[in-house]
Structure 1
């Protein structure tokens, strides 16, 4: 089985990523508690599927122990050779790294906490947690379309059902997982239980965009964020909030302030004890977030995790 090794630049703990996914409804992550992260997902090429088992060496208090992934690549029900040195191996390795934000140099991230007590608190509460991204910009855009005007639990059920009924099943470290349908498979669906005809049409458009290269993660991250967001908003069903979701959580851009994400804005207001006028002004919030560069997406992610914890913990 092909394998890949990653040496995190800066703090990273796989256990923190697993805990995040266990509480992240779109992921529907419920697996054996053995410290192994098992994933199955459409590959960036739009045609293949990757199954991978990710683990991290135990190294005491070492904040950036090596991470390893054993994976398989499948297409049309067959396993694709992906030995080291092949394009298939390089593509799979790159996508796995992006999903876990291991493709970003995080050595400068701890320094943000030295000058910002709020960031310091977030880092202390969630050691080694980096943004865990959607498997691709394609899946992030699909989630945005499915989730529009649906409760999160309803949207997650639709997404899981699509994976079970139309996605490829892959055996990963002793468990059978269903990847979400590839763009090729998704665009062939005439109807989807729980979704309107308009949403199905939008899903077809997302699938076509992925196959046309319009949702390429590297291309989205290579251009100025405002240009990428403008391009994404041209897709049916993708507004300002969804475009940021695709760029930050789909393409894994590490340094974008989520100007259209009210939950993060409310979290900033609470953590920074902002007055009402500042809390309601995205431009003022963006100026506060300038101090988080070049990790604005990372701090935003931690703020959202903190807000979710506060919302679900109940009275103490």
Structure 2
């Protein structure tokens, strides 16, 4: 793959943001399985297929000053700008977070989480396509086993990209995935479903901007038409793939368990938890991420 190292682009966050928090989250986020994501303070390395052209890009992100990052892209000439825009979404810097602190001021539970995880915004899958592939691979598997399979698929069938002296495996682009008849040790039904996801990505069904522009209910309805995508997977794709900032995950049981514990409502049904989450608008997805991060941290201690 012939690539060019392009002049760094600057992205300024609206509202609190800390790249170090993003790197720590990504290093510990099992689906990403990226402990090498950032071994230097204020640095993050990524490799991914760029939406639309699906050419592979390597990206180095550095935090040069509070609230802003510098993005260096190694990619073909025609995709550099799109790669920067994709990084903006991956790090949730395409959302105005200046009102996020007010949610914490109104809700003490959220306020404590904001103090515990300052500057942490959702770190997304590179695209809804990759989020959907993760959902298919991970179905009925332990998360660690699914993460290992996804990583091996990227290493064996993706593209190796060099980023700041490190070789990173970029996940196979949709056409590359479609060309594979066998995918590691995955059962045939998962291979068929992954091929359906790849075709949907090529047809624009998984376009991040289009999914974000829809009413969330309509977007979730359309996503559940994809083979193997149920309510949990559809919400994962919309929230953690397309980056919708204001969707409450009604199918995420671990989130609900954390809410019941922190809000001291052990018997609360999902409908009651949804009512609580209305106070988080327009950042329901962001607060959900803090709650899940807190649960994982407590479980690990």
Say yes or no: does 1:34 pair with 2:30.
no
Q: Answer yes or no: is 1:225 the counterpart of 2:216.
A: yes
**Residue 237 of structure 2: aligned partner:** 246
Correspondence 1:155 to 2:146? yes
TM-score, normalising length: structure 1: 0.91
Partner Cα distance (1:261, 1:166) in 2: 31
State the Cα distance separating 1:46 from its structure 2 match: 5.0
Q: Which residue of 2 aligns with 1:69?
A: 71
Asked whether the equivalents of residues 46 and 210 of structure 1 are also in contact (C-alpha less than 8 Å), the reply is: no
* Residue 193 (structure 1) shift: 2.0
Please point out which of 6, 13, 17 is paired with 1:8: 13
The reply to whether residue 49 of structure 1 matches residue 94 of structure 2 is no
Quick check: 1:143 aligned with 2:134? yes
Whole-angstrom distance in 2 between the partners of 1:115 and 1:45: 40
Residues 1:236 and 2:230 are matched in the alignment: no
Q: CA deviation at 1:275?
A: 3.8
Q: Give me the TM-score of the superposition, normalised by structure 2.
A: 0.95
Structure 1 vs Structure 2 CA RMSD: 1.1
Q: Does 1:301 align with 2:289?
A: yes
Contact residue 10 and residue 71 of structure 2 kept, 8 A: yes
What does residue 246 of structure 2 align with?
Answer: 255
CA distance in 2, matches of 1:207, 1:216: 12
Task: Say whether the 8 Å CA contact 1:53–1:173 is kept in structure 2.
Answer: yes
1:20 equivalent in alignment to 2:20: no
For residue 172 of structure 1, the aligned residue among 139, 163, 166 is 163
CA distance in 2, matches of 1:240, 1:81: 38
TM-fit CA distance, 1:47: 2.5
Paired residues, number? 294
Q: Secondary structure at the match of 1:50?
A: strand
User: C-alpha separation between the residues in 1 aligned to 2:53 and 2:261?
Assistant: 41
Runs of 4+ aligned structure 1 residues displaced above 3 Å come to: none
Cα distance in 1, alignment partners of residues 106 and 144 from structure 2: 38
The alpha-carbon deviation at position 29 of structure 1 amounts to 1.1
Matched residue SS, 1:71: strand
* Secondary structure, counterpart of 2:256 in structure 1: helix
Q: Does 1:102 align with 2:110?
A: no
Of 89-98 and 154-163, deviating more is: 89-98
Unaligned runs of 5+ in 1: 74-79, 83-87
Q: Structure 1: how far apart are the matches of 2:286 and 2:185?
A: 33
The whole-number CA distance in structure 1 between the counterparts of 2:287 and 2:53 is 30
Q: Secondary structure at the match of 1:25?
A: coil
**Cα contact 1:42–1:182 (8 A) shared by 2:** yes
Q: Residue 238 of structure 1: CA displacement? A: 0.5
Counterpart CA distance in 2 for 1:20 and 1:307 is 13
